[in-house]
Amino acid sequence: MKRKIVSVLMCASMTAALFAGCGGSSDTAADAPANDAAADKAEDKADDAAADDAAADDAAADDAAADDAAADDAAAGGSDGGTITIGFAQVGHESDWRTASTKSCQDVFSTENGYDLQFVDCDNDAAAQIEAVRGFIQQAVDYIIIDPIVSTGWDTVLTECEDAGIPVIVIDRTIDDSDKYVSWVGSNFKTEGLAAGEWLKAYAAEKGISEINALVIEGSTGASATLGRTEGFKEIADANGWTILDSQTGDFTEAGGQEVMESYCKSYEGKFNVVVCQNDNEAFGAMTAMKNAGVEYGVGKDVIVISFDACTAGLEKVMSGDINADFECNPLAAPDVEKVIQTLESGGTPEKEIYMTEHWYVNEDILSSITVDGQEQPLTVVTQEIIDAQY
């Protein structure tokens, strides 16, 4: 059915091109090289009958039929006029978050939606990723999506893309040494940190907690998520005179979070009332450590637990009241990337930096929204439906 719609649309655009003149129609043909035969035929006919509008309409109608048949025939061949080829060089498969990111792309850029996705898992090897991008240039794909493993060393290969006329869209992580890409789609980690701070401020005011003594379990040293979340939370903490007792890395792992929290429990026994874990896995580890040390944590207990990422397992803990608030880091970049591609297809210029919508999940229904960076943003109370729908 979708194929039919696509082919009808194509015909319509060809007819339109006829009126506009031959220059336009050759563009359409270039966009649909796979359908050369049908397109050429249509164009020949159109050229012959260029003087006669009625004949041209006939030809277009003929072409519609031919195109339909061709589309049906070509179904086995796999490509028809509307297919957009996309090369995606993914970081690897190191976490649930990454898996969700990959799946999002595979779902959105599926054959059914009229895309041909060339997916390369680069296994955290920066050199392999650059090779993958070069491979995409060789294959002459229409668009390239990169989730850069490292932030530097991209200028050469992006210049090659530019020379080949292939637009590059960067997702998630950033490229620092080149701006030869169309757009970047990702999360604003600092906003996540700010949101956590703003929520804590509002929550403490609501609960009548006057003094905040926070312990932070950071992510991997130097990671952009770590830097952004630390910076954002610290900004609010400094502005409100909160004490950050300590801030050490848990490497984004459960074992790391456990070990750091085990030490915190001894160093700051009875002195802290907030624990900020920069991802869910660290929060799981920290909770085990606090349980073993006999520290009461969670909703309505001594210690407030704040986490980031909001994966399914994390949201389950929010619902059970072990984590007070979880700040999402949205892995589903593909829908936004598709919007960028659609903008480009229609000849528009997309924005250079696109921040994805993210949700702030909480357990209690006592606050409805918080103001982050001057913007009012809603808080979502976790329910079973939300957990089921999460990645």
Interatomic CA distance for residues 99 and 312, integer angstroms: 13
| 49 backbone φψ class: left, alpha, beta (φ>0; ψ -120 to 50) | alpha
Task: Answer yes or no whether residue 28 interacts with other proteins by CB under 8 A.
Answer: no
* CB 361 to other proteins: min, Å: 18
Q: What are the start-end ranges of the H helices in the chain?
A: 2-20, 22-31, 36-48, 53-74, 96-108, 126-139, 155-164, 189-207, 224-240, 254-267, 280-293, 312-319, 334-345, 384-389
Cβ proximity to other proteins: between 246 and 364 the closer is: 246
Quote the least distance from Cβ 12 to other proteins, whole Å.
43
If 0-12 CB within 10 Å is exposed, 13-18 middle and 19+ buried, where does residue 1 land? Answer: exposed
Cβ proximity to other proteins: between 262 and 364 the closer is 262
Q: Are 124 and 149 in contact (CB under 8 A)?
A: yes
Binding track, positions 95-124, relative to other proteins; x by CB under 8 A: xx--x-------------------------
Q: In terms of CB distance, is 113 or 220 closer to other proteins? A: 220
Does residue 278 belong to the site contacting other proteins (CB under 8 A)?
no
Distinct helix (H) and strand (E) counts, the chain: 14, 14
Can residue 128 be called a binding residue for other proteins (CB under 8 A)? no
* Stretch in the footprint of other proteins (CB under 8 A) among 69-77, 106-114, 246-254, 336-344: 246-254
Residue 390 found at the interface with other proteins (CB under 8 A): no
Distance CA 82, CA 171 (A): 24
How far is it, in rounded angstroms, from Cα 257 to Cα 280?
10
Task: Count the neighbouring beta carbons within 10 Å of the beta carbon of residue 138.
Answer: 10
Distance (Å) of CA 238 to CA 244, 245, 347, 372: 9, 12, 46, 16
- Residue span binding other proteins (CB under 8 A) among the ranges 170-178, 283-291, 337-345, 362-370: 283-291
Cα–Cα distance between 330 and 97 in angstroms, integer? 9
Applying the rule CB under 8 A, the residues between 284 and 303 that interact with other proteins are: 284-285, 288, 292-294
Specify the amino acid at residue 302: D
The reply to whether 260 sits near other proteins by the rule CB under 8 A is: yes
Smallest distance, Å, CB 56 to other proteins?
A: 54
Q: Least distance from C-beta 334 to other proteins, angstroms?
A: 18
Nearest-angstrom CA–CA distance, 216 and 286: 11
Beta carbon nearer to other proteins, 74 or 315:
315
Is 181 or 264 the residue whose CB approaches other proteins more closely? Answer: 264
Which string of x and - marks every residue 141-180 that binds other proteins (by CB under 8 A)? ----------------------------------------
Q: Which stretch binds other proteins (CB under 8 A): 93-101, 147-155, 177-185, 349-357?
A: 93-101
- Tokens matching residue 70: 């061709």
In whole angstroms, the minimum distance from the beta carbon of 189 to other proteins comes to: 18
Site residues (vs other proteins, CB under 8 A): 93-96, 99, 218, 221, 246-249, 251, 253-256, 258-260, 262-263, 266-267, 281, 284-285, 288, 292-294, 312-313
